[in-house]
Amino acid sequence: MLKLAYVGAHLASYLAEEHQVFKKSIDGLQRLSQTLGFELASIHTHVSSRQEAKEIATGLEAQGIDFVLLQNSTFAMGDLVLEFANRRFRLGIWATEEPVKEGAIPLNNFVSMNLQAGILRHYINQDTPFKWFYGFPDHPWFAKRLEPTVAALRAIKRLSSARIGLVGGIAPTFYNIHFAERILRQKLGVEIGQHELSEIFALFKQQSAEKIQATTQQMLDATVGRSELSENDLKTSAAIYLALKNFADLHQYDALAVSDWPVFQSELNVHPGMAFSYLDDKDAIPVASEGDVLGAISMLTMNEINAKKSLLLDMNDLDLERDAVLMWHCGGSPLSFADDHGVIWKNHSTLGRKSTNPPMGAVADYRFKPQTATIMRLGDNGNKLFIVDADIIESPHSGFDGTRGWLSNFRFDQKALSLADLVNTIMVEGIEHHFILGTGNHSEAFHEFAAWLNIKVTKPIFYKSFLQRFGK
């Protein structure tokens, strides 16, 4: 859980105690810790000297605090903030409203926060990130500003210790999803382990008949018995799931990026999408198809920010009449996105369809539930972020077999984008597929995530009929 610290700085000649600034702030933060999901792990009040500030800041680093709210409980001397800058934790500066609007000034803390902001930005002479807050925790600005901070820092903390397993390398010719492991580690903190698919196949062979049978039944129960698969495809998929789970546990991986073709088909005559779906749905281990490491990292990021599961998808078709795009993948997605039609286990819709051999399984087939959604992807070795809000809509077209849904009403930073603008931005910028879909509108948290890590957010390139060049 994200660890926050409260530090109250003041001068004794002002009236923090008389107006219960410390108590009201701490009580409010403790309430917010329950609703926003953080731990108020350290509390310090009455800090008035630089030496006290230095001792506290050093202790907070040792304690592993993630975010410090340095409150100007009253006016505080400008040198205090120097001790909280450029530490291993991230920094928020805070002032509350004055308790009265006339007479002798009780707190004089807004000007103190202004002083600190200027010191951080100009005196230190570095691009030191910080975020300002105003008002007691029940003020209409405060919680709305803290919520995206908690979500963004939770994702950053998750990635800083995340382990991703790349299995089988990147799918043939998918040059757009290549990555530089060293840059990713430096930028985000993630560790990447590379493995051959032979390790999965070895674990596949070790699964007992009893485990495979029990898992097969559990996978059928997950779709209320709805399946069009042969018994062999079901059992093969169950054994692949067990192998992937054993593999992830063995290496302590938080997510996997697996090359799901063509070797799975030549070795096991199957597509592993059903196993991917179940691993994500049951064990909360995201799996990115085609060896997409940044896709797997993007899924982990989305999962932390929206506190739910996410999907890795392509954009496959456009509907100009409804200003909508079809987002789809062949069927390796978690099951919780399904609409009221539910999920069916099916054979893969394209692999082997012109062959005289039996169809290859096995994948999930369902349509997305209409709701607000966020589309995102980390690209360029974690140096760029594509982020757009949208709505999953009802459509007379059910979309292609697999996991899919139509999205429309696109927005960037709360401003409307047309379908043409969306497509133009993706193509001119050369955004790497795949795209990650999560429920809810999380644009603010993703923008903050990017700001803390100095990631460039991709801005819209509005549609024109003439050639538009990247970066021009």
Q: What is the mean pLDDT of the chain?
A: 95
2-139 against 160-457: fold identical: no
In CATH, the number for domain 2-139 is 3.40.50.10940
Percent residues over pLDDT 90 in the chain? 92
Give the mean model confidence (pLDDT) for residues 241-259: 98
Q: Is the pLDDT of residue 260 over 80?
A: yes
Strand partners, 289: 258
Q: How many helices (H) and strands (E) does the chain have?
A: 13, 19
Q: What is the band of 356 on the pLDDT scale with cuts at 50, 70, 90?
A: low
* Residue 360: predicted pLDDT: 72
The band of 57, judged by pLDDT with boundaries at 50, 70 and 90, is very high
What is the domain partition of the chain in residue ranges?
2-139, 160-457
Mean per-residue pLDDT for 23-40? 98
Q: Which CATH superfamily is domain 160-457 in?
A: L-fucose Isomerase; Chain A, domain 2 (3.40.275.10)
pLDDT (tens digit per residue) in 390-444: 999 999 999 999 999 999 999 999 999 999 999 999 999 999 999 999 999 999 9
Which residue from 254, 247, 242 is spatially nearest to 198, judged by alpha carbons? 247
Number of Cβ within a 10 Å radius of residue 248: 20
pTM above 0.75, yes or no: yes
Give me the amino acid identity at 211: K
Q: Cβ distance 333 to 318 under 8 Å?
A: no
On whether the CB atoms of residues 255 and 164 are closer than 8 A, the answer is yes
Q: pLDDT grade, residue 61 (50/70/90)?
A: very high
**C-beta atoms surrounding 114 within 10 Å:** 14
Q: Using one digit for the tens of pLDDT, what is the confidence trace for 91-108?
A: 999 999 999 999 999 999
